[in-house]
Amino acid sequence: MASTNLGPDHNLAKRLSNLEDAVQRLQNADVLQNASIGAGGLTVNGGSITITGGGSLNVTGGGQMNISGGLNSGGTLSAQQSITAGTTISAGSDITTQGNLNAPNGSLSLGGNASVNGSATVGSLSSSGGGSFGGGLTATSVGLGSSGTVTSTYARNNSVSSSYVAAYLNGDGRLLASASSHTIKQDFTPADVRPLVDALYRLALIRFRYIAAVEEHGDDAAEELGSIVEYVDRTPLREFVARRTNDDGDEVPFAINWERFTIPLVAAVQDLDRRLRAAGL
Check: CB of residue 46 under 8 Å from CB of residue 68. no
Which residue ranges make up each domain of the chain?
52-151, 194-278
Check: CB of residue 155 under 8 Å from CB of residue 132. no
Tens-place pLDDT, residues 39-95:
666 666 666 666 666 667 777 766 677 777 777 777 777 777 778 777 778 777 778
Whether pLDDT at 187 is above 80: yes
Cβ atoms within 10 Å of 50's Cβ, excluding its own: 9
Sign of CA dihedral 183, 187, 188, 192: negative
Q: Answer whether 0.75 is exceeded by the pTM.
A: no
Four-way CATH pick for 194-278: 1.10.630.10, 3.40.50.450, 3.30.70.260, 1.10.10.10: 1.10.10.10
DSSP alpha helix (H) spans, the chain: 7-27, 194-202, 211-217, 229-232, 262-278
Tens-place pLDDT, residues 213-261:
999 999 999 999 999 999 999 999 999 998 988 889 899 999 998 888 8
Check: CB of residue 87 under 8 Å from CB of residue 93. no
Please give the span between the terminal C-alpha atoms of the chain, in angstroms, as a whole number. 123
DSSP structural state of residue 238: G
Whether pLDDT at 205 is above 90: yes
Greatest pairwise CA separation for the chain in angstroms: 127
**pLDDT at position 180, please?**
78
State the burial class of residue 48 (Cβ atoms within 10 Å of its Cβ: 0-12, 13-18, 19+): exposed
Query: CA-to-CA distance for 72 and 51, rounded, in angstroms?
Result: 7
